[in-house]
Chains A and B, each alone.
Chain A
């Protein structure tokens, strides 16, 4: 390059140039300065034209962006600038009828990982474990939440940090990108397992929850929420408990740092639930079950308010609050005792002999029995008078002469076989259906089963089979196709206690507005009134009182009571007996033993509590279920604390 340039230079100035070298033909043209200048000027003008055109195009672009598209870009700039930060409302509390707190919130620090910001999660958690304790349980829960696909959300790795841990993490925070410390409100159930099936629990919002909320148009209110009521009152009253999410409009810079708050809408706390439940009674009732499985529903007959609702075994709802770890979940799910099943609402059992008072009322009201007419009970009943199928009484040899009063007191099966035969299935279905059998009570917890009160039409629909006369006989003693839930039994016995007035069982009495403290009460209007002749209902009620007195089936449980109480024992078969087989409790496996039932109300003359008790595989209603009822009644009516160690085990052995 250099040498070439030098060569050019040596070629010299204009004067030295030899025109011959260039050829004569072009000389004149090349020398024409005027034309050259003109040429140059034309090019300059062309350039000026290009300049103008280009600037004009730029201005068009500016006009397009700044005028035509202004609104669009304005929105983008605002979205850039303003982020909406949800403020999660405080969840409503639950208080029992005496004002004792059974569900509340407390603030605690959690460590949360945002997976999208963190790199190698496993390594990060291992590193974290050097600073604060991370139990295997925490890891498992985290992994489970991760698998559920909450990629963008932050997931808790540790909850409820103590002050030392908070300080230790804060000092090392720089080592943990993607892990943040957050103050969160946690749900807490101070009574642990007690009333777990009533309260239910909250759990982490899942995708299916979000989809459902989206369908209901409620998703916006759950922005930023991590939890939602899943079952029990927490699930049923979610709309009341959750409250309204507040929002803060924050101006943020490009790094997401908040610069200032532009506007905020405060959250509205969820409303409190004031329950008819008596937490202490509930605890007494649960303790009375000891280790046995079963259910108890106690109702205030004058309102339908549920005083206690037990399903044993229960579970600790606190386990669910920050996402249950898989181990605990598996344990609850695979336990043969099915602790997650709410037996009080979902368990359907043959009502057994607790069905007899209703049969008696049906017979009296429909004129099929004269109360003073006695039959002779030989210990069995032949369908159609003789020669047919033989139905046994529970007592071999029978009860001798039995009138209606005695039939209830000693629970005579033979008497009711006859009553059932005379009434016929459709009369039974129609009359006893009034007491709520065969349909949901409408209690304010989801998942209730409807039970079954059979009819001809039902059997045809269900089995495409006609009803046989024999089917009716076992229905008369609450067996056969009969199935009832404990809450149905409790509602039905309340109707007897009320002499015919029926209320819908409910757990929440009032909803307290979190802002105004104003109470909204749950309707206590009767849902139905069954027309019963006073002499008929009085006869049945008197007989039920005598059940708990000497000579009655629950005499042992009633011994020494300082109040009069009415009851009826029941025993429901789990495994059907062969025609001539004798049921021998000792020879039957524990899980094949009969279920023990007991319904009761007290004080007999002006009942303030009515209840139904079921002890699964408890054996006899008198020995297994009635004492539980007695303990509950003693506490509720007399304030008598049962002994710390329940006698349940002992009684089991005595059976």
Chain B
């Protein structure tokens, strides 16, 4: 009876992925306990988030990919509508207009787009698989840039970046010619100072300037970077030990439960801990690439590839930001940072990966 239940539950769950995700979630809880100042309630809340996210993951794993394919466009259009609504009627929190009030609760449509954009792009390329031409890539670029522009305008640089990356991965994997890629990269390199810079908000510019020289403003914009770098560097090879991070426990690290939780981890577990953590992430990413490699349709290949590489982007941007090589953008460390929304969307994506892996035989047959 129990074995049959387990068999039912595990039918579409990829055990390798689950094990690595579980290990990461555990590391997250352990680090959160330290980062939150040994707050049991904080850890409890995250545990509840994890339960919800795991359920979402299980559900996603059990949705056959072709259902997702069918849902992709409606979800994308719905998300776009919501983003427009946010732009027009959104609620401002801390100077950023990201939230939309819906009855009793408020939602953040950009979270939905993190999944909906790559799905919609993958759907589009899958649909016109045979006839991909420059025009199709242009359409895809428009489909990507519309929501990105709306999100960047909120402003939410981190999410805009993640969605651009996700969309870019789809376009890249779909086969955009290298010449155009190189050309676009060159154009981007030129246009950033000329076009993007004038459009940026002051605080966004400040973050980039600060990256170049954090000591310019040690108590202001540079504070996050400086204190996080100190936390990392002072951790040494084996770290200061769990619950012994002085940077974390004496409040020097800002946002240490969320975006900067990696600094806490790294201070307490050192380079050794970082190696373990990076290995875990590499395993998840490797597994994702493996699933991508073996996916049966273009849609699933593109979705799985985009999800995997987006996860990689999260990890790289977050760790780069905490270790002071990338500007401070609000990107959490997947499965480690505290917070329900991002956890749910990450595990939902993990569920899609599992679904793609476990449903392919059915699709093929």
A residues with CB within 8 A of B: 1-2, 4-5, 8, 13-14, 17, 22, 30-31, 36, 39-41, 43-44, 47-48, 51-52, 54-55, 58-59, 61-63, 65-67, 69-70, 72-74, 76-78, 80-81, 251-255, 259
**A55 contacts B278, CB within 8 Å?**
yes
Interface 1/0 per residue, B321-334 and A, CB below 8 Å: 00111000000000
**B250 contacts A58, CB within 8 Å?**
no
Q: List 16 A-B residue pairs with CB atoms under 8 Å apart, sorted by A's residue number.
A: A8-B139, A44-B293, A52-B282, A58-B278, A59-B274, A62-B232, A62-B271, A65-B229, A65-B233, A66-B236, A67-B271, A70-B235, A77-B233, A78-B246, A81-B246, A81-B250
For the complex, what is the distance from the CA of A602 to the CA of B53, rounded to whole Å?
A: 104
**B305 contacts A44, CB within 8 Å?**
yes
By beta carbon, the residue of chain A nearest B304 is: A44
**A80 contacts B230, CB within 8 Å?**
yes
Tell me whether B231 is interfacial, beta carbon within 8 Å: yes
Most buried by B among A59, A76, A253: A76
By beta carbon, the residue of chain A nearest B286 is: A48
**B230 contacts A76, CB within 8 Å?**
yes
New A-B pairs, 20, CB < 8 Å, besides A78-B246, A259-B250: A4-B139, A8-B128, A30-B131, A40-B301, A44-B292, A44-B305, A47-B173, A47-B289, A51-B289, A58-B278, A58-B316, A61-B320, A62-B274, A65-B233, A66-B236, A69-B233, A73-B233, A77-B247, A251-B246, A255-B251
**A54 contacts B131, CB within 8 Å?**
no
**A65 contacts B251, CB within 8 Å?**
no
Number of A-B pairs, beta carbon distance below 8 Å: 136
Closest Cβ–Cβ distance, residue A44 to chain B (whole Å): 6
Question: Given A43-B173, A80-B230, do A253 and B316 touch, yes or no (CB 8 Å)?
Answer: no
Interface 1/0 per residue, B279-290 and A, CB below 8 Å: 001100110010
B175 to chain A: which residues have CB within 8 Å?
36, 39-40, 43
Tell me whether B78 is interfacial, beta carbon within 8 Å: no
B233 to chain A: which residues have CB within 8 Å?
65-66, 69-70, 72-74, 76-77
For the complex, what is the distance from the CA of A69 to the CA of B235, rounded to whole Å?
A: 10
Other-chain residue from A66, A80, A252, A255 in contact with B266 (beta carbon distance below 8 A)? A66
A252 to chain B: which residues have CB within 8 Å?
250
Closest Cβ–Cβ distance, residue A8 to chain B (whole Å): 8
For the complex, what is the distance from the CA of A50 to the CA of B276, rounded to whole Å?
A: 20
B282 to chain A: which residues have CB within 8 Å?
51-52, 55
A55 to chain B: which residues have CB within 8 Å?
278, 281-282, 316
A81 to chain B: which residues have CB within 8 Å?
246, 250, 252
For the complex, what is the distance from the CA of A15 to the CA of B34, rounded to whole Å?
A: 59
| Interface majority SS (helix, strand, loop, mixed), chain B | helix
Question: Given A47-B309, A58-B320, A80-B250, do A17 and B130 touch, yes or no (CB 8 Å)?
Answer: yes
A52 to chain B: which residues have CB within 8 Å?
282
Other-chain residue from A40, A63, A253 in contact with B173 (beta carbon distance below 8 A)? A40
Interface residues on B, range: 35 or more
Please provide the 9 A-B residue pairs with the shortest distance between their CB atoms, ordered closest to farther: A73-B233, A77-B234, A254-B251, A253-B250, A66-B271, A65-B233, A73-B234, A254-B252, A253-B251
Tell me whether B275 is interfacial, beta carbon within 8 Å: yes
For the complex, what is the distance from the CA of A604 to the CA of B271, rounded to whole Å?
A: 90
Tell me whether B146 is interfacial, beta carbon within 8 Å: yes
For the complex, what is the distance from the CA of A510 to the CA of B132, rounded to whole Å?
A: 102
For the complex, what is the distance from the CA of A13 to the CA of B80, rounded to whole Å?
A: 25
Most buried by B among A8, A55, A81, A253: A55
**B129 contacts A14, CB within 8 Å?**
yes
By beta carbon, the residue of chain B nearest A72 is: B233
**B73 contacts A5, CB within 8 Å?**
yes
Tell me whether B77 is interfacial, beta carbon within 8 Å: yes
B131 to chain A: which residues have CB within 8 Å?
17, 22, 30
B237 to chain A: which residues have CB within 8 Å?
66-67, 70
Tell me whether B172 is interfacial, beta carbon within 8 Å: yes
